Amino acid sequence: MSHIDEGLLHAYLDGETAGAERSGLEQHLEGCAECRDRLEQARALRDRSAAILSGSGPARVTPPPFEQVVARSRAVEARRRVFRLNRLTALGWAATIVLAVGVGWIARGTLGFGERPAQQPGFAMADSAVLQLAEQIAEPEADAPERTLAQAPTREGRVEAGRAQRRDEPAPPAVLKSETVPEEGVPLDARAEAEEARAKMAEADVEQQPAAGVATPAAPAAAAARGRGAIAQADSIEQAQSESKAAHDAFAAAGIRLDEVLGGAGEGTEWRVADEATANERLGGAVTPLPGAEVVAYLVPAEPDRAAVQLVQQLESGEAVVLMQERTTEMPEAEDAVGDRDELMAMNEPASQVEGASVTLRRGDFVLTLRGNLPPDSLRALLEQLP
């Protein structure tokens, strides 16, 4: 019989052999002086290496309480939930702002509030944001025609609402229109965008429903059209959305649960639409938007003493992002890291679990968080552009 392989000698010493293998080895060792010698060499090597390693360990390890690990695990899960909801909330906010703008437009037209300004860039921006968001929302369903908005149960209602609106009311934001003649007073930019929107709609749906501008995948816009009557008096995001059953239905058709987004889930913070001056006052200084991106809306928390502002901004590429600025001394401890470890973990989850991303940066007394449906690296680069 040949001599025992060195690996097997180590396995024998390590107690990793058993049964027939072990007894066979022992039998061989009894009759083979050379292998006994090699076994002792292997033993010496094993003991020596173990001794070397034992001298390099940490001084002494006292495990932190297991409860600490459990608490951290729960925090990560909670953060991940918030993270998912935040993205939906961001979409919901932007959509609702447009909805509120639409309401304002209609209310002004029907009730005679104020004069129509010469320029309404906010509307054009808002419409564009709606289109963008609607495309984002509709996109995941592109492969599931049975669930597209055009076939959603509420379609007829939306079409009817759209027709009624065109007959009876002044021009709403461009995305809701389907006539080819530009409305008087609508800024040129908005007209151009309306044309573009109509072109997109026509591609998708014109043959079956020539007048079905609102039945395109622009779910938030459709929600705006259907829900505007119910939310005319709304002064908060929650109110605006929760009071509109039609908006709920339309959002649901797009796969967004408004009650989850707005029902106090997420961060548990109620945000209200504000103007720039109010936002500045709340933050105790000038709110700094991302450079080169239009501010679609300013949001402030309902709690009056919280020094935080969220800006919904639209990048040149059309993507909507939400920039939160909060004055605090409590938030992430990382002084220069972008995102803390748990957040980075969340970002590394598969896209099916966490859509979009969020990066956090501390600047002096401020914690800045940027959320959006962009890769974390892009968000980080954007956030770092803040002066």
Partner 1 sequence: MSVDWAEVYRTTFEDLVRFLHRKVWDADRAKDLAQEVFVRALDHEPENPKAWLFTVAGNLARDEARTAIRRRKHLTLLKSEAAGESAPDPAEELDRRQRMEQVREALNQLSDRDRDVLLLWDAGLNYDEIAAESGLSKGAVGTTLARARRRLVEAYGALEDEDVAHR
Question: Could you list the residues that contact partner 1 (CB under 8 A)?
Answer: 5-11, 14, 16, 42, 45-46, 48-50, 52-53, 55-64, 66, 68-70, 72-73, 76-77, 337, 341, 345
Q: Which two tokens stand for residue 157?
A: 């209602």
Cβ proximity to partner 1: between 5 and 156 the closer is: 5
What are residue 361's DSSP bridge partners?
368
- Closest by Cα among 236, 230, 232 to 92: 236
| Smallest distance, partner 1 to C-beta of residue 3, A | 14
- Report how far apart, in Å, the C-alpha atoms of 289 and of each of 72, 102, 280, 283 are: 33, 24, 11, 13
- Of 61 and 181, the one with the shorter C-beta distance to partner 1 is 61
Q: How far is the CB of 66 from partner 1 (least distance, A)?
A: 5
Show the 3-state SS of 134-179. HHHHHHHHCCCHHHCHHHCCCHHHHHHHHHHHHHHCCCCCHHHCCC
Distance of CA 359 to the CA centre of its chain: 11
* Shortest Å, Cβ 64 to partner 1: 6
Burial of 96 (0-12, 13-18, 19+ CB in 10 A): buried
CB nearer to partner 1: give 76 or 331: 76
Which residue, 5 or 139, is less far from partner 1 as judged by CB? 5
Based on CB atoms, which residue is closest to partner 1, 166 or 380? 380
Determine the Cα–Cα distance for residues 387 and 290; give it in Å rounded to an integer. 9
Residue 334 CB, nearest approach to partner 1 (Å): 9
- Strand 320-327 to strand 308-314: parallel, antiparallel, or no bridges (unpaired)? antiparallel
Nearer to partner 1, 60 or 167 (CB): 60
Q: Which residues pair with 366 in a beta bridge?
A: 327, 363
Look up tokens 């402030």; give the residue.
300
> Smallest distance from the beta carbon of 355 to partner 1, in angstroms?
19
Give the nearest distance from C-beta 56 to partner 1 in angstroms: 4
Please name the amino acid found at residue 158.
Answer: R
Determine the Cα–Cα distance for residues 22 and 25; give it in Å rounded to an integer.
Answer: 5
What tokens appear for 169 in the block? 């009311």
Cβ at position 7, least distance to partner 1 in Å? 3
Nearer residue to partner 1 within complex by CB, 72 or 116 = 72
Closest to partner 1 by CB, 69 vs 188, is 69
Provide the residue type at 303 as one letter.
Answer: E
Rounded CA separation 347/370 (Å)? 13
- Distance from CA of residue 10 to its chain's centroid? 53
Min dist CB 47 to partner 1, Å, is: 9
